Amino acid sequence: MNVFLIGSGGREHALAYKVAQSPKLTKLFISPGNGGTNNFGKNIKLDVSDHSKVIEFCHDNEIDLVIIGPEAPLVAGLVDDLEKAKIAVFGPNKQAAQLEGSKKFTKELCDKMQIPTAAYKSFDQLEPALAYIKEVSAPIVVKADGLAAGKGVTVALTSEQAQNAIIDCFDGQFGEAGAQVVIEEFLSGPEVSFFAICDGTNFISLSTAQDHKRAFDGDKGPNTGGMGAFSPSPLMTEKLVAQVEKEIITPTLLGMKNMGAPFKGILYAGLILTDQRPKLIEYNVRFGDPECQVLMMRLQSDLLPILQLSAIGDLSGAELLWKEKAALSVVLASKGYPGAYNTGSTITGADEFDDKSVQIFHAGTIRDKNSLLANGGRVLNVTALGTTIAQARKKAYAAIDKIDWNDGFCRTDIGLGAGD
């Protein structure tokens, strides 16, 4: 099979790593890729926002399957145009991608299908939203309705913080994503990530994972796209997995199918384990990042045919096997992230690992001749397999010690206390 993978982050590097292991693969192209993806395929410069150029590339290179990594092309309807051109693609169409593209859309689906989630109200004007804050007590959660690159959510501990977050949204800090806001009740409990590969009707649950969203040790500092992750989650028992499948995933797929927008692709449920039951925080319509990295390290099965079956709409009878090991990933980020940061600094020591149980997944990197340069906020994902989370953690941090990058930082407590 000739495969075209779209994206440039650590998630896409991890997908390239796993797809490249498939005996079914003939050629792998990645656009735009990063400084590490070309170890598993060929990086291509292509404007993926120009759907006609993507279709032309697929025809010229006899692409059998397109895999879309990030959410923006999905919400923009790239799947719709590829399917019209008779090109198989893994990912939801534009209507189904609203599960991530609009938090209001997801909340309304939860109401309709009785999916457990936080109570909420949505607003498209500033003054009513501010007035609502005066009626409720903090803590409260303020979310930009649309895609905001993981930065449109504020957990406001005071009414003043909530009001400022609302003003930021309507003042255009998140562009069109903030033209509408969703204000939710604050839920207390540990957060976990749950993933299912779907074909519109059926689904296969992946193993569980947990990520660390705050920038600094002790879960302090601003939210980020994720500073590390581990899998499996010791919190997710078989009973809880079955409950999530029954109460959240199954009614979601049924609700989407009933509205004429069957969901195909990866459904990523961000969950909070409250005292009463697991509740949905939000949906994403792509693999998590950095959760994808730990999942791809643990996946025993060939991923490529599963993605193809999802694309053609027939996962019946398919299954995934997992290694009886744990995986942990630590993000190395540019100093200043998630705020302003510099790019262009040199990284050494990230390409010198012979241990197959340790993988360095690149995110914000580029190659300049023989040099590896930082080119983003989250730059590297140092990921390790171990018999336990604790062992994987030890191996990941030992690998970090061998990387020389003065302009980078990482959390030192990823997976700490997650069990033996």
CA nearest to 14, candidates 208, 269, 285, 297: 297
Q: Comparing C-alpha atoms, which of 154, 117, 99 is closest to residue 284? A: 99
DSSP 287-305: --TTHHHHHHHHB-S-HHH
CA distance 350 to 361: 9
DSSP string, 301-346: S-HHHHHHHHHHT--TT----B-SSEEEEEEEEETTTTS------E
Q: Could you tell me the fold of the domain covering 2-91?
A: Rossmann fold (3.40.50)
Q: What is the pLDDT of residues 313-336, one digit of tens each?
A: 999 989 999 999 999 999 999 999
CB-facing half-sphere around the CA of 41: CA atoms within 13 A: 32
| pLDDT < 70: residue spans in the chain | 150, 419-420
**Was domain 326-409 assigned CATH 3.90.600.10?**
yes
Q: Which tokens sit at 285?
A: 């319509």
- Peptide linkage before 139 cis (omega within 30 of 0): yes
Angle at the Cα of 73 from the Cα atoms of 266 and 109, rounded to 5 degrees: 50
Q: Which residues pair with 142 in a beta bridge?
A: 154, 183
Pick from 274, 80, 300, 101: which is nearest to 190 by CA? 274
The H or E element that residue 54 is part of is helix 51-60
pTM for this predicted structure: 0.94
Residue range(s) of every CATH 3.30.1490.20 domain in the chain? 119-185
Instruction: Please tell me the CATH superfamily of domain 119-185, with its number.
Output: ATP-grasp fold, A domain (3.30.1490.20)
Altogether, the residues listed in the chain come to a count of: 420
Selection from 86, 29, 88, 48 nearest residue 64 by Cα: 88
* Token pair in block for residue 59: 């025809």
The secondary structure of residue 28, as a DSSP letter, is E
Per-residue pLDDT at 109: 97
Structure tokens at 253: 């797929």
Closest listed residue to residue 402, CA positions, set 351, 357, 361, 356:
351
Is 181:142 a contact under the CB 8 Å cutoff? yes
Q: Are 209 and 235 in contact (CB under 8 A)?
A: no
Which H helix or E strand runs over 169? helix 159-170
Within the chain, all domains assigned CATH 3.40.50.20 are found at 2-91
Closest CA relative to residue 247, chosen from 114, 118, 120 = 114
Q: How many CB atoms lie within 10 A of CB 402?
A: 14
pLDDT reported for residue 420: 60
Q: Which CATH number fits domain 191-312: 3.30.470.20, 3.30.300.30, 3.30.1330.30, 3.40.190.10?
A: 3.30.470.20
Query: Strands across the sheet with 278-284, in order?
Result: 203-205, 191-199, 264-273, 278-284
Which residues are 361's β-sheet partners?
Answer: 381
Asked if residue 338 has a cis previous peptide bond (ω within 30° of 0), the answer is yes
Strands 27-32 and 42-43: parallel
Run of H or E residues at 408: strand 408-409
Helix (H, G, I), strand (E, B) or coil at 124: coil
Report how far residue 161's alpha carbon sits from residue 158's, in angstroms, rounded to the nearest whole number.
Answer: 5
* Distance of alpha carbon 5 from alpha carbon 68, whole angstroms: 6
Map residue 385 onto helix, strand or coil: strand
**CATH 3.90.600.10 location in the chain:** 326-409
Q: State the DSSP H helix or E strand holding residue 390, giving kind and residue range, or none if neither.
A: helix 389-400
Q: How crowded is residue 77: how many other Cβ atoms within 10 Å of its Cβ? A: 14
- pLDDT per residue as tens digits for the range 34-78: 999 999 999 999 999 999 999 999 999 999 999 999 999 999 999
Q: What is the DSSP string of 178-222?
A: GSSEEEEE---S-EEEEEEEEESS-EEE---BEE--EEETTTEEE
Query: Please, where in the chain does CATH 3.30.470.20 lie?
Result: 191-312
pLDDT at 223: 84
